[in-house]
Amino acid sequence: MSERKSPLKVIPSASEEQLVQALGDLLTRCSQEALARQDKFSVGLSGGSLIQLLTKALKSCNLKTANWVFFFCDERYVPLDDSDSTYGAYRAEWLTQLPSIQESQFVRADTSIPLDACAADYEAKVKSQVDRFDLLLLGMGPDGHTCSLFPEQPATLQETQRLVIPIRNSPK
Protein backbone atom coordinates (compact mmCIF):
# COMPACT_ATOMS: atom_id res chain seq x y z
CA MET A 1 0.00 0.00 0.00
CA SER A 2 1.29 3.44 -0.80
CA GLU A 3 1.65 6.26 1.69
CA ARG A 4 -1.39 8.40 2.42
CA LYS A 5 -1.30 11.52 0.28
CA SER A 6 -4.39 13.28 1.53
CA PRO A 7 -5.07 14.43 5.07
CA LEU A 8 -7.46 12.68 7.41
CA LYS A 9 -10.76 14.51 7.43
CA VAL A 10 -13.40 14.49 10.14
CA ILE A 11 -16.81 15.81 9.15
CA PRO A 12 -18.80 16.95 12.20
CA SER A 13 -22.59 16.92 11.87
CA ALA A 14 -25.31 18.16 14.22
CA SER A 15 -27.90 15.57 13.15
CA GLU A 16 -28.20 12.25 11.40
CA GLU A 17 -29.80 14.01 8.44
CA GLN A 18 -26.80 16.33 8.10
CA LEU A 19 -24.44 13.39 8.47
CA VAL A 20 -26.21 11.42 5.72
CA GLN A 21 -26.07 14.48 3.44
CA ALA A 22 -22.37 15.05 4.18
CA LEU A 23 -21.65 11.35 3.63
CA GLY A 24 -23.48 11.46 0.30
CA ASP A 25 -21.50 14.53 -0.75
CA LEU A 26 -18.25 12.81 0.26
CA LEU A 27 -19.12 9.64 -1.67
CA THR A 28 -20.02 11.68 -4.74
CA ARG A 29 -16.83 13.74 -4.68
CA CYS A 30 -14.47 10.87 -3.86
CA SER A 31 -15.98 8.48 -6.40
CA GLN A 32 -15.87 11.08 -9.17
CA GLU A 33 -12.24 11.92 -8.39
CA ALA A 34 -11.20 8.26 -8.27
CA LEU A 35 -13.06 7.25 -11.42
CA ALA A 36 -11.60 10.19 -13.33
CA ARG A 37 -8.12 8.68 -12.88
CA GLN A 38 -8.78 4.91 -12.75
CA ASP A 39 -11.39 2.29 -13.57
CA LYS A 40 -12.59 1.49 -10.04
CA PHE A 41 -13.37 3.23 -6.76
CA SER A 42 -12.11 1.30 -3.72
CA VAL A 43 -13.86 1.81 -0.40
CA GLY A 44 -12.84 0.35 2.96
CA LEU A 45 -15.73 -0.05 5.39
CA SER A 46 -16.21 -0.68 9.08
CA GLY A 47 -19.45 -2.07 10.44
CA GLY A 48 -21.87 -1.04 13.15
CA SER A 49 -24.07 2.02 12.69
CA LEU A 50 -22.14 3.01 9.55
CA ILE A 51 -24.07 0.41 7.57
CA GLN A 52 -27.44 2.11 7.96
CA LEU A 53 -25.96 5.60 7.47
CA LEU A 54 -24.27 4.53 4.24
CA THR A 55 -27.43 2.86 3.01
CA LYS A 56 -29.35 6.12 3.50
CA ALA A 57 -26.60 8.16 1.86
CA LEU A 58 -26.37 5.86 -1.16
CA LYS A 59 -30.14 5.88 -1.59
CA SER A 60 -30.25 9.68 -1.47
CA CYS A 61 -27.36 10.17 -3.94
CA ASN A 62 -28.45 7.76 -6.64
CA LEU A 63 -24.80 7.21 -7.57
CA LYS A 64 -23.64 4.80 -10.24
CA THR A 65 -21.80 2.19 -8.20
CA ALA A 66 -20.98 -0.43 -10.86
CA ASN A 67 -17.23 0.34 -10.65
CA TRP A 68 -17.08 0.47 -6.87
CA VAL A 69 -15.30 -2.25 -4.86
CA PHE A 70 -15.91 -2.70 -1.14
CA PHE A 71 -13.43 -4.01 1.43
CA PHE A 72 -14.02 -4.71 5.12
CA CYS A 73 -11.71 -3.11 7.66
CA ASP A 74 -13.02 -4.96 10.69
CA GLU A 75 -14.43 -8.32 9.66
CA ARG A 76 -14.90 -10.75 12.50
CA TYR A 77 -13.67 -14.32 12.26
CA VAL A 78 -17.14 -15.84 12.13
CA PRO A 79 -19.07 -17.55 9.33
CA LEU A 80 -20.08 -14.99 6.70
CA ASP A 81 -23.77 -15.60 7.40
CA ASP A 82 -23.30 -15.04 11.17
CA SER A 83 -25.06 -12.01 12.65
CA ASP A 84 -21.64 -10.68 13.80
CA SER A 85 -20.16 -10.70 10.28
CA THR A 86 -19.55 -7.21 8.89
CA TYR A 87 -19.76 -8.58 5.34
CA GLY A 88 -22.99 -10.38 6.23
CA ALA A 89 -24.53 -7.20 7.63
CA TYR A 90 -23.66 -5.18 4.51
CA ARG A 91 -24.81 -7.99 2.25
CA ALA A 92 -28.18 -8.24 4.00
CA GLU A 93 -28.71 -4.48 3.96
CA TRP A 94 -27.33 -3.50 0.57
CA LEU A 95 -28.33 -6.40 -1.67
CA THR A 96 -31.94 -5.99 -0.56
CA GLN A 97 -32.09 -2.17 -0.65
CA LEU A 98 -29.52 -1.06 -3.22
CA PRO A 99 -30.11 -2.90 -6.51
CA SER A 100 -27.13 -1.24 -8.19
CA ILE A 101 -24.71 -3.03 -5.84
CA GLN A 102 -23.84 -6.65 -6.63
CA GLU A 103 -22.33 -9.27 -4.35
CA SER A 104 -19.32 -9.50 -6.68
CA GLN A 105 -18.33 -5.97 -5.60
CA PHE A 106 -17.53 -7.18 -2.06
CA VAL A 107 -14.00 -8.43 -1.35
CA ARG A 108 -14.46 -10.67 1.65
CA ALA A 109 -12.38 -12.76 3.99
CA ASP A 110 -12.57 -16.54 3.78
CA THR A 111 -13.48 -17.32 7.37
CA SER A 112 -13.78 -21.03 6.60
CA ILE A 113 -9.98 -21.42 6.81
CA PRO A 114 -7.78 -21.11 9.94
CA LEU A 115 -7.48 -17.58 11.36
CA ASP A 116 -3.85 -16.89 10.41
CA ALA A 117 -4.43 -18.19 6.87
CA CYS A 118 -7.64 -16.15 6.66
CA ALA A 119 -5.78 -12.92 7.53
CA ALA A 120 -2.94 -13.66 5.08
CA ASP A 121 -5.40 -14.60 2.34
CA TYR A 122 -7.47 -11.45 2.84
CA GLU A 123 -4.35 -9.28 2.80
CA ALA A 124 -3.34 -10.89 -0.51
CA LYS A 125 -6.83 -10.25 -1.93
CA VAL A 126 -6.71 -6.59 -0.90
CA LYS A 127 -3.20 -6.04 -2.25
CA SER A 128 -4.09 -7.72 -5.55
CA GLN A 129 -6.97 -5.28 -6.06
CA VAL A 130 -5.69 -1.92 -4.81
CA ASP A 131 -2.46 -0.01 -4.24
CA ARG A 132 -4.29 2.27 -1.86
CA PHE A 133 -7.87 2.82 -0.83
CA ASP A 134 -9.68 5.74 -2.39
CA LEU A 135 -11.85 6.14 0.71
CA LEU A 136 -11.94 4.63 4.19
CA LEU A 137 -15.16 5.03 6.14
CA LEU A 138 -14.49 4.01 9.71
CA GLY A 139 -16.57 4.10 12.84
CA MET A 140 -15.32 4.06 16.39
CA GLY A 141 -16.59 1.87 19.21
CA PRO A 142 -17.39 3.18 22.68
CA ASP A 143 -14.00 1.93 23.92
CA GLY A 144 -12.17 3.79 21.14
CA HIS A 145 -11.57 0.78 18.88
CA THR A 146 -11.64 0.99 15.12
CA CYS A 147 -10.77 -1.58 12.44
CA SER A 148 -10.70 -4.27 15.14
CA LEU A 149 -7.80 -2.45 16.81
CA PHE A 150 -8.69 -2.48 20.50
CA PRO A 151 -7.02 -0.26 23.13
CA GLU A 152 -6.73 -3.21 25.54
CA GLN A 153 -4.74 -5.21 22.96
CA PRO A 154 -1.63 -3.01 22.53
CA ALA A 155 0.32 -5.62 20.54
CA THR A 156 -2.04 -5.17 17.60
CA LEU A 157 -1.48 -1.41 17.68
CA GLN A 158 2.27 -1.94 17.20
CA GLU A 159 1.94 -3.84 13.91
CA THR A 160 3.72 -1.97 11.13
CA GLN A 161 4.25 -4.54 8.36
CA ARG A 162 1.02 -6.41 7.72
CA LEU A 163 -2.10 -4.84 6.27
CA VAL A 164 -4.38 -7.48 7.81
CA ILE A 165 -3.71 -9.05 11.18
CA PRO A 166 -5.51 -11.90 12.94
CA ILE A 167 -7.28 -10.78 16.10
CA ARG A 168 -7.71 -13.36 18.85
CA ASN A 169 -9.94 -12.94 21.89
CA SER A 170 -11.69 -9.96 20.34
CA PRO A 171 -13.86 -8.14 22.88
CA LYS A 172 -16.43 -7.73 20.06
pTM (global) more than 0.85: yes
In this model, does residue 30 exceed pLDDT 90? yes
C-alpha neighbours within 13 Å on the C-beta side of residue 10: 3
Q: If pLDDT is split at 50, 70 and 90, which confidence band does 1 have?
A: low
pLDDT band at 5 (very low <50, low <70, confident <90, very high): low
Inform me whether the pLDDT recorded for 155 exceeds 80: no
Of 5-14, 47-56, 118-127, 136-145, where does the model show the most confidence?
Answer: 118-127
pLDDT digits (tens, 9 = 90+) for 87-132: 999 999 999 999 999 999 999 999 999 999 999 999 999 999 999 9
Q: Can you name the residues that pair with 44 across neighbouring β-strands?
A: 71, 136
CATH number of 16-157: 3.40.50.1360
Taking the domains of the chain in order of start, what are their residue ranges? 16-157
CB atoms within 10 A of CB 35: 15
